[in-house]
């Protein structure tokens, strides 16, 4: 729960920056109130300002930092050799240019004291402050020190919170000190510092965060001899997203980065070693490993703590605040980003925990708050980079339990013929087909290098999701294919649209 996460952060003895230090200087009444200082909120205030240039926007953020993006925290920031650069939270993008984690520098924001009187309005940030409750009928919120703020329009963009393991929740304080979660700048800074003096880390989880971080830390750790283990239940990295053969292939790449990947395994128990320096993890595969530190990368939970008191509905299946196509939970109350469970006219009810969705839904919420009444219809993409040789982008519903069909460029051959992989996990004869596929895929793993290609995800023969595997600048084509909502007879033909052999 979020209280656990707060305890983890508090333990790291970093003092939360609180600006302004007293809530008296925060306006009592504001036109646009945004709860959360993440990407969805940033995208919303941009959209509000462009629709309504003299808007007065107040952002309340529980984080002590200016609004920033999270993706480089598990990737780019670990690859530079320049410690000063990482400390200043600058990173090199894939195209070589350098960029800051922060969306806007400090002077961009109007000091909160001036927001009500500034001639052209502005965007102010109260950071280190938390909204404790919302009164939806009176249209006001209460801060953690009791201060009340009335709003005309409000956005909840509170993101998500890392989950923790039960064995962690039940552990002693001493043992808990050896564990962490990873989501924020503080978490990045703590881990960076730790890497300087520890010799081994176990990452639990095989999803986005665990896989990206394992590859990044192994790369960084090579220089100081830090051993990285990654332990998870699935058969391979990103096993819930990628078809099995591709997940296996990716796992080999992660191993090549120097990570000891332990698949199909759970952590059953943990304890401090005799000298209390290391954590001993008891694994379901019968083995034990001892490490200096453990990172839990076991998923995130949407932050909906404001719901109960405000009487807002949470989706019983997908979690997150239930909103309509215009991203409204109630009149004048909008939700965007990780914590929104929204209606996608094409693909149905969804909740998406990725950067571009935060950008797109934040923008739509901002536009609608400023008077537009647009439905959600632009599909967001997401991307992930796992070490230097695996990068992909995706759109729609990408779930490895669906039927998938992948088309790849053959190895490094000059011959432009394509290799073709079908993964048909139909529920009727799942076992049989799976077995047949495992052997077929195992064969193809040795003979085929899945360097680049495209994977289609199908529901009732219609493409509902697409992964572009080490293939960039094709997202608009993928978006078109997804939008057409058609049953294609020959997916090889569709694959040709992506010009897989081109650059
Ligand atoms: P967040 O960014 O979580 O922001 C929520 C904000 O709300 C926080 O500032 C929080 O402190 C604040 N808040 C919460 N409750 C309150 C309250 N009551 N009062 C005031 N403030 C509050 N996605 C990709 O597509 N590609 C990637 O490569 C990628 N890499 C990632 C790497 C890492 C390490 C992480 C953690 C995530 C990554 N993601 C990536 C996911 C992406 O960052 C998230 O989907 C995105 O941050 C969601 O934005 P958000 O604004 O909804 O929430
Ligand atoms: P995830 O859902 O992608 O992966 C969770 C992993 O933890 C899975 O391997 C799962 O099997 C495992 N797990 C779940 N419960 C467990 C348990 N009780 N015991 C052991 N293992 C368990 O989530 P994540 O990788 O932790 O990522 C955290 C958040 O950050 C997510 O919202 C994610 O979307 C986001 N993120 C996204 C990106 C990206 O889009 N490239 C990168 C990093 C993080
Ligand atoms: P894009 O410009 O279409 O960006 C999509 C969205 O993601 C935008 O909202 C953008 O602001 C955001 N975004 C892109 N990169 C980001 C980052 N590193 N951190 C935070 N936000 C980011 O897509 P793009 O920039 O062409 O590429 C998206 C991803 O694809 C990048 O992470 C990059 O690593 C990868 N990529 C790799 C190569 C390659 O040759 N290896 C080429 C192109 C893109």
Closest by CA position to 34, among listed 78, 12, 67: 67
Which of 94, 101, 359 is the pocket-test mutation for ligand 3 (most atoms within 8 Å of CB)? 94
- Chain Cα centroid distance, residue 367: 24
For atom 46 of ligand 1, the residue with the nearest CA is 355
Q: Can you tell me which residue has the tokens 């001892």? A: 290
User: d(Cα 164, Cα 248) in Å, to the nearest integer?
Assistant: 26
Asked whether 394 lines ligand 3 (CB < 6 A), one says no
Instruction: Look at residue 414 in the predicted model and tell me its pLDDT.
Output: 35
Cα(458) to ligand 2 centroid in Å equals: 23
DSSP E strands in 14-139: the ranges are 29-35, 56-61, 90-92, 98-100, 122-127, 131-135
pLDDT of residue 420: 59
CA-closest residue to ligand 3 atom 10:
356
CA 432 – ligand 3 centroid, Å: 40
User: Considering every ligand atom, which ligand is closest to the CA of 184?
Assistant: 1
For residue 411, the model assigns a pLDDT of 56
Please tell me the distance from the alpha carbon of residue 502 to that of residue 490, in angstroms, as a whole number.
21
Which ligand does the CA of 392 lie closest to?
3
Find the distance separating the first CA and the last CA of the chain, reported in whole Å.
45
Q: Which atom of ligand 3 is nearest to the CA of 76?
A: 18
Residue 243 near residue 404, CB atoms below 8 Å: yes
Q: Give me ligand 3 centre to Cα 75, in Å.
A: 12
Cα distances from 480 to residues 193, 459, 487, in angstroms, run 45, 17, 14
**Is 61 touching ligand 1 by the criterion CB < 6 Å?**
yes
pLDDT in tens, the chain (503 residues): 334 344 444 455 567 899 999 999 999 999 999 999 999 999 999 999 999 999 999 999 999 999 999 999 999 999 877 788 888 999 998 888 999 999 999 999 999 999 999 999 999 999 999 999 999 999 999 999 999 999 999 999 999 999 999 999 999 999 999 999 999 999 999 999 999 899 999 999 999 999 999 999 999 988 889 999 999 999 999 999 999 999 999 999 999 999 999 999 999 999 999 888 999 999 999 999 999 999 999 999 999 999 999 999 999 999 999 999 999 999 999 999 999 999 998 899 999 999 999 999 999 999 999 999 999 999 999 999 999 889 999 999 999 999 999 998 875 433 334 555 655 443 322 322 232 233 333 334 444 678 889 999 999 999 999 999 999 999 999 999 999 978 888 898 999 999 998 87
Q: Is 463 in the pocket of ligand 3 (CB under 6 A)?
A: no
385 lines ligand 3 (CB under 6 A): yes
SS3 state at 123: strand
150 neighbors 142 (Cβ within 8 angstroms): no
For ligand 3, atom 43: residue with the closest CA? 472
pTM of the model: 0.90
Greatest Cα pair distance in the chain: 70
- Ligand 2 first shell, C-beta below 6 A: 74, 160, 165, 204-210, 212, 232-234, 266, 297-300, 353-354, 382, 384
Which of 356, 359, 388 is the best mutation target for the ligand 3 pocket, counting ligand atoms within 8 Å of the beta carbon and taking the most? 356
User: Ligand 1: distance of its center to the CA of 367 in Å?
Assistant: 20
Question: Is it true that the peptide bond before 20 is cis, omega within 30 degrees of 0?
Answer: yes
Distance 76 CA to ligand 1 centre (A): 17
ipTM for the complex shown: 0.90
């Amino acid at each position: 729960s979020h209280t656990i996460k707060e305890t983890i952060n508090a333990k790291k003895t970093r003092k939360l920056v609180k600006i302004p230090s007293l809530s008296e200087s925060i306006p009592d009444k504001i036109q646009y109130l945004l709860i959360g200082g993440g990407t969805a909120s940033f995208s919303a205030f941009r959209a509000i300002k462009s629709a309504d240039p003299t808007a007065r926007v107040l952002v309340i953020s529980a984080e002590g930092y200016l609004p920033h993006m999270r993706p480089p925290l598990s990737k780019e920031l670990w690859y530079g050799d320049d410690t000063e650069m990482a400390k200043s939270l600058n990173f090199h993008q894939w195209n070589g240019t350098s960029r800051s984690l922060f969306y806007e520098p400090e002077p961009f924001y109007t000091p909160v004291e001036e927001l009500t009187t500034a001639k052209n309005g502005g965007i102010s940030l109260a950071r280190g402050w938390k909204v404790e409750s919302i009164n939806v009928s009176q249209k006001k919120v209460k801060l953690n020190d009791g201060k009340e703020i009335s709003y005309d329009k409000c956005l909840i963009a509170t993101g998500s919170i890392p989950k923790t393991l039960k064995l962690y929740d039940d552990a002693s304080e001493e043992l808990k000190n050896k564990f962490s979660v990873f989501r924020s700048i503080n978490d990045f800074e703590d881990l960076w510092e730790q890497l300087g003096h520890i010799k081994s880390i176990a990452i639990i989880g095989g999803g986005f965060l665990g896989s990206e971080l394992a590859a990044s830390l192994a790369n960084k750790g090579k220089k100081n001899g830090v051993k990285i283990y990654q332990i998870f239940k699935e058969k391979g990295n990103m096993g819930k997203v990628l078809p099995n053969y591709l997940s296996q292939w990716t796992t080999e790449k992660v191993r090549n980065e120097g990570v000891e990947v332990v698949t199909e395994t759970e952590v059953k128990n943990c304890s401090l070693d005799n000298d209390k320096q290391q954590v001993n993890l008891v694994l379901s595969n019968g083995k034990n490993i001892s490490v200096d530190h453990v990172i839990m990368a076991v998923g995130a939970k949407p932050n909906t703590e404001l719901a109960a008191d405000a009487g807002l509905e949470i989706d019983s299946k997908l979690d997150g605040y239930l909103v309509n196509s215009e991203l409204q939970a109630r009149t004048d109350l909008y939700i965007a980003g990780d914590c929104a469970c929204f209606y996608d006219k094409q693909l149905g009810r969804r909740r998406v925990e990725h950067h571009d969705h935060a950008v797109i839904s934040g923008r739509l919420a901002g536009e609608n708050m400023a008077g537009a009444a647009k439905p959600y219809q632009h599909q967001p993409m997401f991307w992930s980079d796992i070490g230097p040789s695996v990068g992909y982008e995706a759109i729609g519903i990408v779930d490895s339990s669906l039927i998938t069909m992948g088309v790849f460029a053959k190895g490094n051959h000059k011959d432009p013929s394509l290799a073709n992989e079908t993964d048909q996990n139909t529920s009727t004869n799942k076992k049989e087909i799976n077995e047949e596929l495992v052997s077929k895929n195992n064969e193809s793993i040795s003979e085929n290098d899945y360097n680049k290609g495209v994977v289609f995800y199908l529901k009732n023969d219609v493409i509902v999701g697409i992964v572009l595997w080490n293939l960039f600048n094709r997202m608009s084509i993928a978006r078109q294919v997804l939008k057409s909502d058609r049953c294609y007879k020959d997916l090889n033909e569709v694959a040709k649209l992506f010009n897989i052999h081109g650059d």
